Amino acid sequence: MRTQTDGMKLVPYYLQERSKSLYISETYKDVTIPSYVGHLSYTDQLEAFISRYKRRPADIKYWPYGPYWPAHFEGLLLDTPRHLVVGLQGCEPLVVGEFANSQTTESQVTQYLGKWKGTQLAYDSETKGCCPTLMFESRFECGNLRQARRVNQFEYELVLKTDLYTARHTQWYYFRVTNAVPGVTYKLRIINLLKKDSLYNHGMRPLMYSEQDAKERQRGWVRTGHHISYTRSSGTNCPLLEKGITYFTLEWQMEFPNHQDTHYLAHCYPYSFTDLKEDLELLMNSDERSKVTRREVMCETRAGNSCFLVTVTNFDSTVEKRAVIITARVHPGESQSSWMMKGFLEFITGPDPAAKVALYCDLHGHSRKHNVFMYGNNTSADLGVTPLDMARAFISERLFPWIMSVKSPDKFHFQSCKFQIRRCKESTGRVVMWHQLRVSNSFTMEATFSGTVLDRDNRRHFNTQDFMEMGTVLAQAILEYQTVKADPVQHTQTVLGLTRCITKQVLAYKGALCHTPLPLPPPLSLSPRKLQKWREHQTDILNKCSSPQRWSVFNSWETTSG
């Protein structure tokens, strides 16, 4: 990290570079940073960072410390939970319909027959007939449960903390539960979510982790829950909720498998700052991987945690190289982006060669759509070019996502990709990289919290292995993209496949697509006789479709290929 002296105080170079949002004077009294929630003033926050920075040895770029919490954070901090990460143990399907044989809190028969009066007891010396109270905890790294209230014999109402330095962002959860009775059905209800819709309404289920199952059966995170709903909140009188805001409620019922066990519940597979440090440490301790890897601290988060910059390249080469920039975990709840980054780094630092092509990709999670897909930019709209150049740009900006879909047809959905720049997205990484640095291959890759629905007979949840595989596919696609751009024959074949897919999309949108597949472009290097037979076969296919649009499409293929 570069630094420069301002008066007698040492100021991080990257803070000086933030000219649009930060001005630093000799006394640091004119500091202006975008507003956020917190008890520290901007000056105090900056002074605290400078104090820590001055204590850092000058030749050390990497701080092996953290995780840190904001200074105003109150409460006991517990050890970071350690979860078993296991390989693929079978696919967990998405919920289709309802669980017909699942018991509910109303239908179950238990030994706890005491009538629940709705009062909140602080102490009762005679607990006969009352089910033991679940014990909740989230004062550990990544935990975000604010409050849990028991509202009925088997029902609990939960309130989440907002993301740090925000006032309203709540859409994920991660907490611990103990004192559960096996076989009893419990109802959990999170009442302060903010998005209007969720994948929980489309087959997604919560995640559960059992410490006992991990120790005795080598079992990791599993999907759980039934009678799942995501609806608008109503009838809640929680004093923690802000008036005038429309909240939504996630409700599910579930059973805990073991007695005297510790269970964790999560929206997505957790990946903490501690996990990140350990994974980077393993990377740097590897004799082979460390030869092409450098780890630095680019900046600090507001809580004081290091934001790492990992460079993978051939450091012995003096040839000027083009860069691939991958960012991840912009939003704290999108932990699948961290798993994708882990898979990406493991691939490109391994024995396979890395691609040398300019590309930027920001890894995210998506809470309302299935599968994996990308957002790109409409580059031709900014250039004001000729119609031919616009057509070339149209194909070019879709070529890399198309390669992703070809390499991962069971997870990546090309039809879900969008290529436009909405006003509300102008500050996102992909748009900034295009507008300011003119990186045309600038994308946001979104991975669902749920799973894949591309195979109608196998609609299933994603797991950590799936997310890591998508990181590997991203690296492989970058390498293949370089090969395609360098080989005219491969480039032509890839563009024809992309064009055929887009044509089918357009015809389907206009209601002019028959169930018979469109003709493929002729294979290369066919003899005249075989080419004639191929054309006769494709004509037979098209004869099954009566729409004249099919013939225009066929003729366009003939013109392109002939």
Task: Give me the DSSP letters along 206-259.
Answer: -EEEEHHHHHHH----EE--EEEEEEE--S---TTSPTT---EEEEEEEE--ST
In a domain, 25, yes or no: yes
DSSP-assigned states of every residue in 259-317: TT--EEEESS----HHHHHHHHHHHHH-TTGGGGEEEEEEEE-TTS-EEEEEEES-TT-
- Residue after which a domain boundary falls, among 486, 520, 538: 486
Contacts of 463 (CB under 8 A, 6+ apart): 88, 92, 221, 269
- Residue after which a domain boundary falls, among 430, 457, 486: 486
Is 227 found in the same domain as 100?
yes
Instruction: State the number of CA atoms in the 13 A half-sphere of 350 facing the CB.
Output: 10
Is 498 found in the same domain as 475?
no
Low-confidence ranges of the chain (pLDDT < 70): 1-66, 71-76, 87-90, 96-101, 111-124, 127, 351-358, 381-385, 512-527, 530-531, 534-535, 537-562
Helices (H), 65-222: 211-217
Q: What angle do CA 356, 469, 402 make, to 5 degrees?
A: 60
The pLDDT score that the predictor gives to residue 364 is 92
Is 476 found in the same domain as 352?
yes
Is 231 found in the same domain as 128?
yes
- Is residue 180 a contact partner of residue 186, using CB atoms and an 8 Å limit? yes
Is 220 found in the same domain as 104?
yes
- Residue after which a domain boundary falls, among 231, 248, 271: 271
Residue 479: both structure tokens together = 């390498």
Amino acid identity for residue 253 in this structure:
Q
Structural domain for 388, as ranges: 322-486
The pLDDT score that the predictor gives to residue 372 is 95
Q: What angle do CA 428, 433, 439 make, to 5 degrees?
A: 140
CATH of the domain at 344: 3.40.630.10
The pLDDT score that the predictor gives to residue 561 is 41
DSSP structural state of residue 560: H
- Is residue 470 a contact partner of residue 447, using CB atoms and an 8 Å limit? yes
The number of beta carbons lying within 10 Å of the beta carbon of residue 474 is 29
Q: What does the pLDDT look like over 494-542, one tens digit per residue?
A: 999 898 888 887 887 777 665 555 455 555 555 677 667 766 766 665 5
**Active site (annotated) includes residue 446:** yes
> How far is 477 from 411, CA to CA, in rounded Å?
14
In a domain, 303, yes or no: no
- Tokens 């290097």 sit on residue: 525
Is 345 found in the same domain as 402?
yes
In a domain, 89, yes or no: yes
* Residue 185 β-bridge partners: 255
In a domain, 179, yes or no: yes
Is 383 found in the same domain as 434?
yes
Is 394 found in the same domain as 366?
yes
Q: What angle do CA 415, 500, 559 make, to 5 degrees?
A: 160
Is 223 found in the same domain as 242?
yes
Q: What's the number of domains the chain is made of?
A: 4
The pLDDT score that the predictor gives to residue 407 is 92
Is 179 found in the same domain as 38?
no
β-pair type (226-232, 306-312) = unpaired
Q: What does the pLDDT look like over 246-264, one tens digit per residue?
A: 999 999 999 999 999 999 9
In a domain, 65, yes or no: no
> How far is 122 from 274, CA to CA, in rounded Å?
37
Helix, strand or coil, per DSSP, at residue 366 = strand
In a domain, 299, yes or no: no
Closest CA to 380 of 369, 367, 364, 391: 391
| Residue of 141, 334, 446, 480 marked catalytic | 446
CATH of the domain at 127: 2.60.40.3120
Is 482 found in the same domain as 460?
yes
Is 398 found in the same domain as 515?
no
Instruction: State the number of CA atoms in the 13 A half-sphere of 490 facing the CB.
Output: 10
In a domain, 61, yes or no: no
In a domain, 449, yes or no: yes
Closest CA to 271 of 463, 95, 426: 463
